[in-house]
Amino acid sequence: MITVLTHRRAHLEPPPNAANEALRQFRVIFGAVRQHVQAVEKACGVSGAQIWALAALHQTPGMKVSELAQALSIHVSTASNLLDKVEKAGLIRRERKHTDQRVVQLYLTAAGEKALKRAPQPLTGILTHALGQLPEDALTRLNQDLAVLIAHMGAINIRDAQKPLSEH
């Protein structure tokens, strides 16, 4: 692609380089994520992370909180807080086993099933879905390169890795 810049535009835009292109691509990715999250919230009235949780419970009824946290790649306390919100909205119910009252299983309610049906695809979120489409070697390279990028960033909060993207 060849772009012809006028003299005036050349002074307003920095010359393209690899760092600027990477930044531009991050903006495209996060813009797409933001747009998908807004579409989910508009269609269902819940966050993208909450829809992903509902989808996981639809696929595997009776999950425990720890199993759901693992399925969503989030911390157990984050999953618990997320579930409190969807339970309050009447989208899930928690049941305790008669044999062991400590074990809590999670199920969708009829309202939860309805919200899930209204949700735009993919239910796991656009970024999670796209990452799942990549071949293993591409994911390995991406993970290595992102680890290097994170190392260069300095002040980071590693706990952010266990929070849903739509909750940031």
Distances (CA, A) of 78 to 28, 124, 142, 149: 27, 17, 26, 25
> Which segment of 29-38, 83-92, 106-115, 134-143 scores lowest on mean pLDDT?
29-38
Q: Are strands 92-96 and 104-108 parallel, antiparallel or unpaired?
A: antiparallel
Question: Is pLDDT at 98 greater than 80 in this prediction?
Answer: no
Question: Is pLDDT at 106 greater than 90 in this prediction?
Answer: yes
Same-domain pairing of 106 and 138: no
Q: Do the domain assignments include residue 109? A: yes
Same-domain pairing of 46 and 116: yes
- Please tell me which residue, 104 or 6, carries the higher pLDDT value: 104
Q: Do the domain assignments include residue 166? A: no
Same-domain pairing of 142 and 97: no
State both tokens at 48.
């993208």
Same-domain pairing of 103 and 46: yes
Same-domain pairing of 102 and 46: yes
- Please tell me which residue, 2 or 77, carries the higher pLDDT value: 77
- Please tell me which residue, 85 or 154, carries the higher pLDDT value: 85
Give the number of domains in the chain. 2
Q: Do the domain assignments include residue 167? A: no
List, for residues 59-97, the tens digit of each pLDDT value.
999 999 999 999 988 889 999 999 999 999 999 999 987
Question: Is pLDDT at 168 greater than 50 in this prediction?
Answer: no
Same-domain pairing of 46 and 120: yes
> What count of other Cβ atoms lies within 10 Å of the Cβ of residue 33?
18
State both tokens at 25.
């691509």
Flag whether the pTM goes above 0.75. no
What is the DSSP annotation of 51-86?
A: HHHHHHHHHSTTB-HHHHHHHHT--HHHHHHHHHHH
Question: Is pLDDT at 102 greater than 90 in this prediction?
Answer: no
Query: Average of pLDDT values for 95-104?
Result: 82
Question: Is pLDDT at 117 greater than 70 in this prediction?
Answer: yes
Q: Report long-range pairs for 66-74 (Cβ below 8 Å, ≥24 apart).
A: 68/106, 72/164, 73/162, 74/49, 74/162, 74/163, 74/164
Same-domain pairing of 114 and 150: no
Same-domain pairing of 81 and 147: no
List, for residues 11-62, the tens digit of each pLDDT value.
555 556 888 888 899 899 989 988 988 888 888 888 888 998 999 999 999 9
Which residue carries 């980071």 as its tokens? Answer: 156
Taking the C-alpha atoms of residue 63 and residue 115, their distance in angstroms, rounded to an integer, is 19
State both tokens at 131.
């990452």
Contact assessment for residue 56 and residue 71, using Cβ atoms and an 8 Å cutoff: yes
- Please tell me which residue, 155 or 81, carries the higher pLDDT value: 81
Taking the C-alpha atoms of residue 122 and residue 48, their distance in angstroms, rounded to an integer, is 10
Same-domain pairing of 65 and 83: yes
Range of the domain at 151: 133-158
- Please tell me which residue, 161 or 130, carries the higher pLDDT value: 130
CATH number at residue 59: 1.10.10.10
